[in-house]
Amino acid sequence: MTSDSRRLAEVAERIIPGGVNSATRNIGAPWAWRSAKGPTMTDMDGNVYTDYHAAFGAILLGHADERVNDAVTRAITDIDLVGVGTTELEVEAAQLIVDAIPSAEMVISTMSGSESTFQAVRLARGATARPYIVKFQGGFHGSYDALARNVISAPDRAWKRDPNSSGILDDAVDNTLIAEFNDLASVEELFALHPEQIAAVILEPVPHNVGALLPEQSFLEGLRALTRKHGSLLIFDEVITGFRHALGGYQELCGVMPDLTTFGKAMGNGFPVAGLAGSAEVMSNFTPSGGAVMLAGTFNGNAVSMAAAIATITVLKDPEVDFYGHVYGLGDRMRAGLQSIADEHGIAARMAGVGSVFVPYFMDGEIRGYRDLLRNNDEASATFQRRMIEQGSFMYPMALKRNHISLAHTEADIDRTLAQAEDVIGTMAREGLFETAKAGV
């Protein structure tokens, strides 16, 4: 018999391209969802999964957190969408963000991370009157044309011309230059090739789109010095790292201050909200301040988004909740447990991550940049995460994709998942799906 999940998916396929509203949702079973609460999701057939995907990291406190939902409900009883002037909710949210992000003096609201990076790129070009943007191979900054290239590139296309989609104008692709993460020399070379033409360097301070490449402190400090030397802006895309790894984002942890910071995803615990923050000097180039860079968006600063952001940030700041202590502890427990299982079976694996994020790389050796990730056993990675779904722990079934722990997860959830991983990894090892760890690595 066809399951309820599959039946709904078949209806969707007739009226929605591919049956999904984003290509990354097209993963096969589980096909469709009925509900989500706390650390779990339930599909249309009643199967319950411990959720580590967390909508690509948008869920920070757990699904349907009552504190956030109650704040949204209260807000929409008073005001919905007015579209002119400002509201108390917008001002309160902006103040919380400026107080949280170390480099922020002014902030704007958007509805998604893609909108935030779009605004950052346009602002950088407008403020500097320069055409080029530098991004890093493997980094993802949303679907905006200027940044939609060289994400998870095949080995023969990495660092070369690799747009994510058809329909992007050549100029949009070619005005974005590609460097290698943790390789300052690759960035210096681009500045030498294009003197006084680079508007900004944009990066995920931890490239979570390809798992969790950890930045070297000298690399981040070198980028800051290099961009200042050449009169370019440094943009930290903290859509994933922001609020998840620290209230002030990864810049709070590394102490390197960018000119602009994009953020979103987790700050509304699943509600659509994001933004861009930066120095007053740069942000004043937007048209509301009398500058020439257009800022527009009817839904920017809407009551639902602002209420969700205020409520989420308030929980993150609460010392009694101890969000960061909780998720960092569970993250350490998960990474250590997975590494121990892999080591016991003698397989090549590195369990990477920061705080609440964990990523199984099935490979030996050093992991600094995208070049190193080409050694990953992608087939084993995808198979592991697919089989973990079948065991009841939902991990996005694609190589290099990260997993997230929320405030709603418990030690019991982690231990149950580790028991499932022991079974999955042991079975895969016996089937010969992993490479054997090299002695001394």
Residue ranges of the domains in the chain?
Answer: 4-64+322-430, 66-317
Buried b (16+ CB within 10 A) or exposed e, 95-131: ebbeebbbbbebbbbbbbbbbbbbbbbbbbbbbbebe
Residues of the chain below pLDDT 50? 1
CATH 2.60.120.10 describes domain 66-317:
no
User: 416 burial class (0-12, 13-18, 19+ CB within 10 angstroms)?
Assistant: middle
pLDDT in the model for residue 440: 53
Beta bridge partners of 63: 38
Q: Nearest Cα to 349, choosing from 304, 391, 320, 384?
A: 384
Query: What is the Cα–Cα distance from 133 to 222, expressed in whole angstroms?
Result: 17
SS3 361: strand
Residue type, 138: G
Interhelix angle 303-317/66-78, rounded to 10 degrees, is 140
Interhelix angle 184-193/217-229, rounded to 10 degrees, is 10
How many residues are there in the chain? Answer: 441
Query: What is the Cα–Cα distance from 354 to 343, expressed in whole angstroms?
Result: 20
Are 377 and 346 a contacting pair, CB within 8 Å? no
Q: CB-hemisphere CA count at 13 Å for 265?
A: 26
> In this structure, which CATH number among 3.90.1150.10, 3.40.50.150, 1.10.287.3510, 3.60.21.70 belongs to the domain 4-64+322-430?
3.90.1150.10
Are 397 and 27 a contacting pair, CB within 8 Å? yes
Cα 399 → chain centroid: 15
User: 216 burial class (0-12, 13-18, 19+ CB within 10 angstroms)?
Assistant: middle
Are 411 and 330 a contacting pair, CB within 8 Å? yes
Listing DSSP states for 349-363 in one string gives -EEE-STTEEEEE--
Structure tokens at 234: 């440094």
User: pLDDT tens for residues 330-358?
Assistant: 999 999 999 999 999 999 999 999 999 99
Structure tokens at 434: 């992993």
Structure tokens at 111: 């509805």
Beta bridge partners of 108: 276
pLDDT in the model for residue 439: 57
Listing DSSP states for 22-64 in one string gives SGGG--SSS--EEEEEBTEEEETT--EEEESSHHHHT-SS-BT
Q: What are phi and psi of 434, to 5 degrees?
A: -110, 155
Query: What is the Cα–Cα distance from 364 to 18, expressed in whole angstroms?
Result: 37
Query: What is the Cα–Cα distance from 43 to 312, expressed in whole angstroms?
Result: 26
Helices then strands, counting H and E runs in the chain, come out as: 15, 14
Are 219 and 256 a contacting pair, CB within 8 Å? no
Cα 247 → chain centroid: 15
Structure tokens at 253: 């942890």
Query: What is the Cα–Cα distance from 306 to 81, expressed in whole angstroms?
Result: 11
Query: What is the Cα–Cα distance from 163 to 147, expressed in whole angstroms?
Result: 9
